Amino acid sequence: MRWTGPLESAALLTVLPVPARAATSARGVLPWAPAVGLVLGAAAGGVAVLGDRWISPLAGAVLGVAVLALLTRGLHLDGLADTADGLGPLRQRERALEVMRQGDVGPFGVVTLVLTLLLQVACLAALLTVDRGWLALWTAVVVARLAMARTGLPGVPTAEGSSLGRLVAGTVSAAWLAGWAVVLVVLVLAGAAADPQLTLRLLVSAAVGVLAAELVHRRARSRLGGVTGDVMGAMGETATTATLLVAAVLLG
C-alpha cells in the first residue's frame, strides 16, 4: 500500500490543500478514510465545544455540523441527497442510477438532507450539555469513514457506471479495516478517561452507526447492483446521524 494514501484520501474527502503530485490516484481514498475522520472529527468537535462555551449548545451544534460540511465540501451530504433520490421512489435500476448521476436534487433528496441535518444538530446540541458529550461527534465522524471504507473490501460489487467505485474496489483488506476499528476503540477508551459507562455507551452508539450504514449498503446492492460514490457518502452520513442519535439517547 502506497504511503501517499493519506494524501490521496485527504485530497478527495476534504478541502485540505494537498500537493497535486502527491495525490495522483484514488487507490488510497478508502483505506485512509478513517484517518481523515480522526482529523475531521477533532476539528468539528473542537468548534462545537467552543461554540457551546461562547454562545450556547445549539450554536455549538450548528457550528460543529457546519464546519464538518465545509471541510468535506458537502460531498457526503450531496451523496446522501442523490442516493435518497435514487433509492426512495420506486424506480427501475437503470432509471435510479440515471437520477443519481444528474446534478440536481429532487424532493426526496431535499427532504432527506434537511431532516438529516436537523437531526444531527438536535442530537449534538443535547450531547454538548453532557460532560465529554462532544466525544460522540468525534466518534460519529470516524465511524462514518469506517463505514465508507467497508465498501472497499474485496468482493463488494460496484454499480454500473460508477467510476469511483471501480477505482477503489478491493483496496481495503479485512485486516486493515479491523485494525482501524481497534484504533477507534482504543481512542474512545482514552477519551473517556477510564469511564466505563461513557466508553460502553459510545461504543454501542458506534456499533449502531455501523449497522445503519450497512442497511444503506444492502439496500443499494439490492436496488442498484452495487455501490457508487454517492452511496458511500450516504453510508457515511447515515452512520454519523445514527451514532449521534443513539449517543444522545444513552448519554442524555
Residue ranges of the domains in the chain? 5-16+28-251
List the end-to-end C-alpha distance of the chain, in Å, as a whole number. 42
pLDDT mean over 234-250: 97
Question: Highest mean pLDDT: which of 67-71, 93-97, 186-190?
Answer: 67-71
Asked if residues 169 and 152 have their Cβ atoms less than 8 Å apart, the reply is yes
Q: How confident is the model at residue 241 (pLDDT cuts 50, 70, 90)?
A: very high
- Give phi and psi for 158, each to the nearest 5: -110, 135
- Grid cell 462555551 — which residue? 53
pLDDT number for residue 1: 45
pLDDT number for residue 223: 86
Give the three cell numbers for residue 24.
Answer: 495522483
Q: Which CA distances in Å does 22 have to 4, 13, 26? A: 6, 15, 11
> Each residue of 122-170: pLDDT tens digit?
999 999 999 999 999 999 999 999 999 999 999 999 888 888 888 888 8
Name 246's Cβ contacts closer than 8 Å, sequence gap at least 6.
204, 205, 208, 209
Residue 195, pLDDT > 80, answer yes
- Grid cell 427532504 — which residue? 111
> Each residue of 8-26: pLDDT tens digit?
888 889 988 877 666 666 7
Stretch among 132-141, 173-182, 187-196, 205-214 having the lowest mean pLDDT: 187-196
pLDDT number for residue 242: 98
Determine the Cα–Cα distance for residues 227 and 32; give it in Å rounded to an integer.
Answer: 18
Dihedral, CA atoms, 134, 139, 142, 145, nearest 10 degrees?
A: -110
Q: What is the pTM of this model?
A: 0.94
pLDDT mean over 197-207: 95
> Each residue of 37-89: pLDDT tens digit?
999 999 999 999 999 999 999 999 999 999 999 999 999 999 999 888 888 76
Tell me what the pLDDT averaged over the chain comes to: 90
Q: How confident is the model at residue 3 (pLDDT cuts 50, 70, 90)?
A: low
pLDDT number for residue 109: 86
pLDDT mean over 225-241: 94
Determine the Cα–Cα distance for residues 211 and 147; give it in Å rounded to an integer.
Answer: 9
pLDDT mean over 26-43: 92
Q: How confident is the model at residue 213 (pLDDT cuts 50, 70, 90)?
A: very high
